[in-house]
Structure formats: structure tokens, C-alpha cells
Structure 1
Amino acid sequence: MSFLSPGQPVRAGLYWAAGLYGLIAHIRRWCYRHGWLLTTRLPCLVISVGNLTVGGTGKTPFVIFLAQRLMAKGRRVAILSRGYKRTSHAPHVLVSDGVRLLSDSSESGDEPFLMAQRCPHTVVAVGANRVALGRWVLERHPVDCMILDDGFQHLALHRDVDLVLLDATDAVGLDALLPAGRLREPLHGLDRASAVVITRADFRHDVDAVRSRLRRIPCLTDDAIEVVFRPESFIAISSGASQSIEWGEGKKAWLVSGIGNSLSFRRSAESVGIEIVGETMFEDHHRYSLREIEAVRTKVQGSGSDIVLTTEKDGGKLASLLSVNDAWWMLRLETDVVRGEDRLSRLIDGALSRSSPSECHV
């Protein structure tokens, strides 16, 4: 099934299929609500970060932000992720034990690998069955808090806090269910959420477009939290050298990305003064080849670009394909809560106060 890209209008001819998809989603939720399908509670705090739509809403930088926040409060944190498009077929893969990286981006998936890099003292594990994965982690590591990456539809696992991310640059993604639109489930599914988090909330008109679509449902959207992803620094892929954001001012760059929302990456690059001379885009979670790298090198020659700029998620997959002489850089982002910081703090701190920080075991 092919999905609409962020910002693309609804495919009205597929409303019939969307109706069938919605019915199946409704039956599944009903079965969990009435006990026909079981929800398991793990003996530790579980915080879910999820989507209502397919594609990139900024879950990865937000999970990193949340993990760092919990670690700063003295919690022993594990991140559970599906590991989408990973090459390993093992039911459970330990990406990091909180001390060192134990698998690469190919084995674990690009997003868990980036999370493990950015949160070096956090346990990161991947597996399709998050209940089994959580138990597996608890048998091996003394964690007291788990973050469930992309967990809103993973109803088999109980969560204490349920955060749902909506992308401000993709308001039309809320207009119809798959495959006519980009919704994984109807908007009223938000009534299960502890809070709605509107991401990429840089422009008021984008945020207002999302909020206008949410007014038709009775949920907590009036108290929606808003975050932006601000460029933090430039990181050289080959050497790991870091440069400040000011370093990019006036530089000419060729962009390369394989993410769910390439427009957001372009906006981030432009916001720090990068002059974009060309762009090569791939589908989300793309696995790069040497042939593709050579094709980009060919395009870059004669373009006048000073650097090739990519995302941090892509950088983990590109490192082994580049030479030390390649001027390829990653743009590192940080998460900034611009509205609703008090609400987010109350949710997290309230959950922490109800959960003992002692070691948890299954």
C-alpha cells in the first residue's frame, strides 16, 4: 500500500477502502476495551509516544528529549521500539545496554540506532511484540521506566502516560483514514491520549490548521502541547566533528534525506542560513547503497555546494559508505517545548510520583 506524503490532499476515490479500514480499527479497539483482547501491565512506568497518522511526526527527537528528561530525574530508562525495516529477524535485539552500542543501524533500524547514540545511558531494544520485549528487557536490566516508541496503536501494552504527536505541517493528514488519507484510526481515538503534542509548531497558521480539525471531537486538544525542533549543531558524518549552527550561515549545500517529512528538513536547513543548491530525496527508512552515494557525488560536482547535508537519522546509515574526504554533514536537532511545558511536567512528574524508582523485575 502506498501512503500519501505529508501535505497531500485526500484521495476521495478511496473513501470506500478507508471505511473498511476504519471498521477493522474500530472492532480491534472494541475487543481491547471489552477484554476480548488482553492488555498487559508491566511492573514499571510506561510512557508511550505515538502517532495518529502514518509517517514522520517527529517521534524520534521527542523520544530522545523525553529519555534525557527522565534520565536527568534519576530514572533508569529503556526505550522499546519496533525497529522498522531492520535486517535482523531476531525477536529481540538489544541496540544499547546503556553502556555501549551493541548493534548497527541495519540490524536495529535507523531510529532506534539514533536513539541509542543520542541517549548513551539508556537501554534501547527492538522487537515487534512490545509486551514480550518489555519483559525481556526487565529480565536483564534494572530499569524503572520504559518509553514505548510509536506505541499509540499498540494496545496490548498498558501505558501510564499516552502522548500522541500531530504534525503541524500536515494538517490535511487528519482529513481521512488510510488509504484515502493518512490517519491510522479516526480522530476520536485521541480520547485515549493523556495529551496531544503538536510538533513542528513553528508557524501559527500551521498550528491553527491542526487545531481547527480537532475542534470537532471532544478531547483534550484545547490543552495541546506544542513543540518545535530547532537546529542545534552540525556533525561531520565521517569524523564526528561538531560545528555550531552559526557555521552554516551562507554555506551552499546539497540536501540528502530519507525521512517521513523531507519538507521539514529543508525548512530546518533554510532556517539557519543554508543556501540549498539541490536535493536528493528517498522514501522513509531508505537503506543507502554505494551506487546511490556515487550518484549524489556526481550531482554535487559542479553544483557549487560546499557540503552535502543530511539528517542525523540518515547519517547513521551513511557513515560506512563515505570516505574521510567526503564533506557530508548531519543537522542535529533539539526539542523545545514552546507551549504547554507546565502541562507536560505535570503529566510526567505525576506519573513518576506514582511509580517507585526501585528496580523492576518480571
Structure 2
Amino acid sequence: MQSVLAFLLLPFSWLYAAVLAVRNWLYDVGWKRSEAFAVPLLNVGNLRVGGTGKTPHVAWLVEELLRQGQRPAILSRGYGRSTRGPRLAGPTDSAATVGDEPWYYFQQFATQLVPVAVAEARRLGVQLLLQAHPETTVVVLDDAYQHRAVRPALNVLLTELARPFYSDHVLPAGRLRESRHGAHRADVLIVTKCPPDLSAASQAEAAQRIRRYSRSAAPILFSAYGYGQPQALPAEPAAGPAQLAAGSSGRGTRLPALLLTGIAQPGPLQEYLESQGYAIQHHAVFPDHHSFRPADLVALRAHWQPGWPIFTTEKDATRLLAPELRDARAGLPFYTIPVRVAFLGNGSAAMQQLLPNWPVPEN
């Protein structure tokens, strides 16, 4: 039924793709202006709606820039926030005022003094960052691949191994924001959420299919997720230890647990937890960027038993810590699972070489 519906929607997809193709052509020939800035912009984006792993890849890029001695800033649209217009994230903000991903970045890099801003119009966001933080040497754009009013020095395109752009269609028949040929703008393409042991043959097959749409000079890399030890939510000091051991006792016993997610693709996290010996008794699945309500946690509590950990993602945790959820969250032992990017083969070195050789600022 779903395939029949997609087939019926194809004419609308072709029309939408044609409109976007004209828009991109206007930028390509210079009839629509794409602005560059005094500092380079590095964009991490995708062709598909949601779930390709932008957040951990942005974090990897920022960590690498910091390691090189740069002073990066992060700019996002701030999807789902209650505010509008350009805004610098500050300690009095929250996921509600700046969005869950920007708030995660702000907390993740607070000790390294990485500025985070949100703006629907990225041009205004870059201007705000450079005015407020003139020491900034590079701005990392989260999800601005289709936002062509600004010109990135490096365009990073992500595509998920299980849902590659080359097998998808433009909205509404598929999940692509624009035609597959949009991959031609990418300076590097990263196939994400791969098994760490993905074979060379599988990598070659995916790369061959990507090459139908990408520039021949653009490297094609592969990345996997690396998961860290569970971490208790900061607001739950009485709920349990700061870290949990693996779920299996070593004698075949699996520790029951719950999972709560509001992200686009929660499957890999559940698979990881099960591989660590946890038996997921109930998975409360919500849409990406879902604003949790007290009723959601009341329903979750009905599936919980004392001694069972409740796992969630770092991005979801930014919304779970909202003040209005405090009473509903009380006593529930929430743990986040840190997610980091691990490149396959020499992918990490290849990414490092793609970063422009900027002079390191003086302290």
C-alpha cells in the first residue's frame, strides 16, 4: 500500500524537485546571492529529512577544530524552539528557547567556550556570532545544506547507510528535500550509521552508487556510532549511580530496562543496548524533536518497575529536564547514552585533511 501511494505521489515529487532545481540553478549562476564571510563556514547537512546523524558529526567537527587550536562557533536554525529570529544561547536558555540540538551543543561545549547561536536566516546568525564573538575563526553550520543564501567553505553531506539518498525520492513520494543531484554540491560525502566492520565490498558498492550523483573529486567516507557508558541525568542524583555496568551479569541474565526516544532513527540505540545485555521491556517512541509532556512520563511509569534503568538520548535529555516535567520525572532513573562518531578506515585522517589550513589564532 505504501509503495502504491508513493507511486501516485511521484508527479508531485517531480514538480517539487523541478521548483528546487530552478532555485538551485539561480544560485549556481549568481542570479540569487550567496554570501561569504570573513571567516569560513563549514556546513553539515543532508538531502533526506531527519535521522542521518548530523548532531554527532557536528560535535566531531567542533572537537577537531578545537584540537587544532581554532575558535569555532556553532549556528543552527533552532528547530522547534519557542522563540524567533537570531539568538545567542546563554545559561538561562533551554531546549524550549533555542531548540534541543543547539542546547545540547551549548551544554556539550560550555567549558570550551564555544558560542552557539540559532537563526532561521543563517546570514543574520553568522553576523550575530561575529559581532558578539569577534574571536571566532570558523562557524560550523548545522543543517544548512539547502540554505544557499550563505556560502560554505566546506560542504559535508551525510547519508544513512540503511536509507541512502540514491534509493529515495523527493517529497512527498519520498523523504528527500531536493533531487539526488543535489549531492553534486558536496565537498565530502559521509555514509553514516555503518557497522564498524562494514566490508570493503559493501563500501565500494555504496560509493559506486553515490558517484552517479556526486563530483568525482569529492571523497566518500564511512562512519559508525561509538557509544559511551550510561550517564545519570544531572537532576536525578538519587535515582541511581552515575554510571551503570553492562546489562548482562555474565551468567546469561539480562537486566530489564526501558527506552524513551524522540529522535528520527532510534533503532541503532536499541540494538546497542540489547547487545550490551539489556532486555528492553518497553520502548516509548515519539517523533523527532517531540516536546515531552507530563502525561508521557506518567504513561512511561506504568511500564517501569523499581531497579529498571530508563535509557534515553543526550538530545532527548535536553527536553526531559524541562522544569514542567520535574514532578513527573521524580524518582525515575533516567540514563543517557553518549554517542560519538567513529570513522571507518582512514576516514578521520581524510576529514582532517579536508579542513582548510587556516592560521591558528594567537592566545
Which of 217, 223, 230 lines up with 1:227 in the alignment?
A: 223
SS for the counterpart of 1:217 is coil
Deviation track 1:47-100 (CA, whole Å, cap 9, x = no partner) reads 1000111111110011111111111111111000000010112x122114xxxx
Offset at residue 243 of structure 1 (A):
1.7
Residue 59 of structure 1: aligned partner: 54
Amino acid at match of 2:76: S
Residue 120 of structure 2: aligned partner: 128
Offset at residue 356 of structure 1 (A):
4.0
- Cα gap change, 1:70 to 1:293, in 2 (>3 Å): same
How far apart, CA to CA, are the structure 1 residues paired with 2:211 and 2:54?
A: 23
Q: Tell me the matched-pair count.
A: 341
Offset at residue 342 of structure 1 (A):
2.6
Which of 172, 183, 197 lines up with 1:190 in the alignment?
A: 183
Which of 35, 39, 42 lines up with 1:40 in the alignment?
A: 35
Question: What does 1:145-224 align with in structure 2 at a 5 Å threshold?
Answer: 145-171=138-164, 174-202=167-195, 204=198, 210-211=206-207, 213-220=209-216, 223-224=219-220
Amino acid at match of 1:109: G
SS for the counterpart of 1:28 is helix
Deviation track 1:281-301 (CA, whole Å, cap 9, x = no partner) reads 011000001111101101224
Q: Give % identity.
A: 28
Offset at residue 43 of structure 1 (A):
0.6
Offset at residue 182 of structure 1 (A):
1.2
How far apart, CA to CA, are the structure 2 residues paired with 1:183 and 1:207?
A: 22
- Cα gap change, 1:209 to 1:12, in 2 (>3 Å): farther
Offset at residue 358 of structure 1 (A):
4.6
Residue 302 of structure 2: aligned partner: 298
Greater length-normalized contact order (CA 8 Å, ≥ 6 residues apart): 1
Residues 261-270 or 306-315, more deviating: 261-270
Residue 103 of structure 1: aligned partner: 93
How far apart, CA to CA, are the structure 1 residues paired with 2:151 and 2:219?
A: 23
Report if the CA contact (8 A) 1:187-1:214 is conserved: no
Report if the CA contact (8 A) 2:194-2:222 is conserved: yes
Residue 315 of structure 1: aligned partner: 317
Amino acid at match of 1:232: G
- Cα gap change, 1:63 to 1:21, in 2 (>3 Å): same
Offset at residue 222 of structure 1 (A):
8.1
Deviation track 1:10-37 (CA, whole Å, cap 9, x = no partner) reads 8111101100110011011011111111
Which of 15, 27, 31 lines up with 2:10 in the alignment?
A: 15
Residues 247-256 or 191-200, more deviating: 247-256
Report if the CA contact (8 A) 1:307-1:329 is conserved: yes
How far apart, CA to CA, are the structure 2 residues paired with 1:10 and 1:204?
A: 33
Question: What does 1:328-347 align with in structure 2 at a 5 Å threshold?
Answer: 328-339=334-345, 340-347=347-354
Structure 1: give runs of 5+ residues left out of the alignment. none
Report if the CA contact (8 A) 1:10-1:176 is conserved: no
Which of 318, 331, 339 lines up with 1:325 in the alignment?
A: 331
How far apart, CA to CA, are the structure 1 residues paired with 2:294 and 2:205?
A: 41
SS for the counterpart of 2:336 is strand
How far apart, CA to CA, are the structure 2 residues paired with 1:54 and 1:248?
A: 33
Deviation track 1:252-285 (CA, whole Å, cap 9, x = no partner) reads 2111101011212222322322211111101100
Over the aligned positions, Cα root-mean-square deviation in angstroms equals 2.4
Q: Normalising to structure 2: TM-score of the pair?
A: 0.87
How far apart, CA to CA, are the structure 2 residues paired with 1:264 and 1:217?
A: 27
Residue 273 of structure 1: aligned partner: 277
How far apart, CA to CA, are the structure 1 residues paired with 2:360 and 2:121?
A: 25
Q: Normalising to structure 1: TM-score of the pair?
A: 0.87
Structure 2: give runs of 5+ residues left out of the alignment. 249-253
- Cα gap change, 1:196 to 1:265, in 2 (>3 Å): same
